[in-house]
Amino acid sequence: MIQSLVKHHIRDTFGNRSIRELSKGIINGAFSKLPRHPSTKTKYNLQGVISKVLKDAFDREDISKVPKITKVKVADPRTTFIEEDVQEKILAEVTNPVTRAFFRFCMMHGCRPGEA
């Protein structure tokens, strides 16, 4: 993810500027000039990467202070659930007993397949 953000957004946004040139005004101005795409979530992630790079540069004493950045606000994602009776109908269509047990476990414990 970080490599993608750097490749597709950070280089385009800040070009060849030195990290020492980045100020609150330059960073906030760059974010305000971004088009509607990328999404707000991508802008939030981009801001996180930039903040981390600035903090690391400060820790290495490459810069004398970390500019404060106006935070991008991201709304909490809307989570939707499948009703239990619909889940049962879906499970009834699974013919492999091991697979059915696996998905029943996920259903009963509220975890995603990748977490089980």
Q: Do 45 and 89 share a domain, yes or no?
A: no
Model confidence pLDDT, tens digit, residues 69-108: 888 888 888 888 889 899 999 999 999 999 999 999 998 8
User: Do the domain assignments include residue 9?
Assistant: yes
The answer for residues whose C-beta is within 8 angstroms of residue 68's C-beta and 6 or more apart is 24
User: Do the domain assignments include residue 64?
Assistant: no
User: Do the domain assignments include residue 19?
Assistant: yes
Question: Domain of 101?
Answer: 84-115
pTM: 0.59
Residue type, 91: L
Element (DSSP H or E) covering residue 13: helix 11-14
84-92 and 97-109 are packed helices; what angle lies between their axes, rounded to 10 degrees? 170
Q: Is the Cβ–Cβ distance between 5 and 52 less than 8 Å?
A: no
User: Do the domain assignments include residue 14?
Assistant: yes
Token digits of residue 8: 């597709």
**Total domains present in the chain:** 2
Q: Do 18 and 55 share a domain, yes or no?
A: yes
User: Do the domain assignments include residue 72?
Assistant: no
